[in-house]
């Protein structure tokens, strides 16, 4: 194994704002502390949360420009290296970690957990936000959260596309709403990282996923496991199309990543025939791509007993289960393409202006690793 250098290339976030706040710099290679491993990064998935955190788009009060601060104060400090869904190989270990880990390929459980509880995560924060992440050549991570995934059928870039930022969020949406086998579940924003994970996870637990997306993506989403793909461009006929797809049954639950003015349509699809229901209507929401404000009559919520679950990240137990499913091949990667780390600005612009063919995740590969881990998945525009 080659000698670990003293410095590395990294894309450093210097403040809230546009992509001009991302600077490609030479910075010191971190040293692994007690209980940590030093990972040479080979691929890190890009998530929408990278952009939203950079732009300060996580307000909890009107007029606020901020990012995650559920623990009581902002944890995104500058300079910061973003990138949560990290894949790479262990090249050094800190105190208390077995040297046998050196050489292992792994995928990070990206959470900065506030305590050791495995069943709850009340103050979500993550690597790439409250601590440096994977948009760099090396990163120091907790050994117990860097899960060994030797599956030879998954390339490193593919493995990064299955990171916990999407898959754990999706799983926690389902577990929060207690989705069961046989239930009809609507997945909104179905072509993105969380949406494609939700479709697959529904099938694993035996639920029936209905995808809301663009017509151009229908074939790909059906191949992934969607029962039916509903065209989001025609919401005036949405309820009729849901009834047709389910045989007249109301949806049992909605996994929503859209919010905004669409929320009422989703509630309609769960409550139109309460006599046909066997459980309470359930709405899990983990995004607001359609708008951060929804106008809802609260009488519709409490009279129809709609249960609403806000979801951000998940638990250690859920991450462990997902790592098992990924390692066993029960979940498929949905990788759209790869960009070099030095071209992260271009990747951010591509993501914001992604077209009708976009499906799944983009990954970022350090320039030194590009030939082996990025070139096979390079986009034509890259």
pLDDT greater than 70 at residue 193: yes
Say if residues 374 and 44 touch (Cβ distance below 8 Å). Answer: no
Distance of alpha carbon 256 from alpha carbon 186, whole angstroms: 8
pLDDT at position 63: 62
Fold of 167-310: Rossmann fold (3.40.50)
- Residue 74 pLDDT class (50, 70, 90 cuts): confident
What DSSP string describes 62-127? TT--B---TTSS----SSEE---EEEEEEEEE-TTS-GGGTT-EEEE--B--SSS-SS--SS--BB
pLDDT at position 2: 75
pLDDT greater than 70 at residue 258: yes
Mean pLDDT score, 259-280 = 96
Task: Give domain limits for the chain.
Answer: 7-162+334-377, 167-310
pLDDT greater than 90 at residue 351: yes
Fold of 7-162+334-377: Quinone Oxidoreductase; Chain A, domain 1 (3.90.180)
Say if residues 85 and 166 touch (Cβ distance below 8 Å). Answer: yes
- Residue 68 pLDDT class (50, 70, 90 cuts): low
Locate 54 and state its tokens.
């950079």
pLDDT at position 75: 84
Distance of alpha carbon 287 from alpha carbon 171, whole angstroms: 14
Question: pTM for the whole thing?
Answer: 0.95
């Amino acid at each position: 194994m080659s000698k670990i250098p003293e410095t590395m290339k990294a894309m450093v976030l210097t403040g809230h704002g546009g992509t001009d706040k991302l600077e490609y710099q030479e910075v010191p290679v971190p040293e692994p502390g007690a209980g940590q491993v030093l990972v040479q990064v080979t691929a890190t998935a890009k998530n929408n949360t990278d952009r939203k955190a950079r732009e300060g788009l996580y307000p909890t009060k009107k007029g606020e420009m901020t990012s995650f601060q559920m623990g009581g104060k902002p944890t995104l400090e500058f300079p910061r290296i973003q990138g949560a869904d990290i894949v790479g190989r262990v090249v050094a270990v800190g105190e208390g970690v077995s040297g046998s880990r050196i050489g292992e390929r792994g995928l990070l459980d990206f959470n900065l957990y506030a305590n050791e509880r495995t069943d709850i995560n009340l103050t979500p924060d993550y690597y790439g936000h409250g601590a440096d992440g994977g948009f760099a050549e090396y990163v120091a991570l907790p050994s117990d959260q860097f899960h060994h995934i030797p599956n030879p059928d998954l390339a490193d870039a593919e493995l990064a596309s299955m990171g916990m930022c999407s898959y754990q969020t999706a799983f926690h949406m389902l577990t929060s709403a207690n989705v069961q086998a046989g239930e009809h579940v609507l997945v909104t924003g179905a072509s993105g990282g969380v949406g494609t994970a939700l479709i697959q996870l529904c099938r694993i637990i035996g639920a029936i996923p209905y995808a809301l997306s663009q017509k151009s993506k229908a074939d790909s989403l059906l191949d992934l496991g969607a029962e039916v793909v509903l065209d989001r461009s025609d919401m005036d006929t949405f309820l009729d199309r849901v009834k047709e797809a389910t045989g007249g049954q109301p949806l049992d639950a909605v996994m929503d990543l859209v919010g905004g003015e669409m929320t009422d349509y989703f509630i309609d699809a769960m409550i139109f025939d309460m006599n046909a229901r066997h459980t309470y209507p359930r709405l899990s929401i983990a995004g607001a791509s359609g708008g951060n404000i929804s106008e809802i009559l609260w009488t519709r919520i409490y009279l129809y007993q709609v249960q609403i679950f806000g979801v951000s990240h998940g638990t250690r137990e859920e991450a462990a289960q997902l790592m098992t499913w990924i390692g066993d091949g029960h979940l498929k990667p949905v990788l759209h393409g790869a960009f070099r780390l030095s071209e992260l600005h271009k990747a951010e612009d591509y993501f914001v202006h992604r077209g009708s063919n976009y499906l799944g995740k983009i990954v970022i590969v350090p320039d030194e690793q590009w030939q082996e881990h990025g070139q096979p998945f390079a986009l034509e525009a890259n």
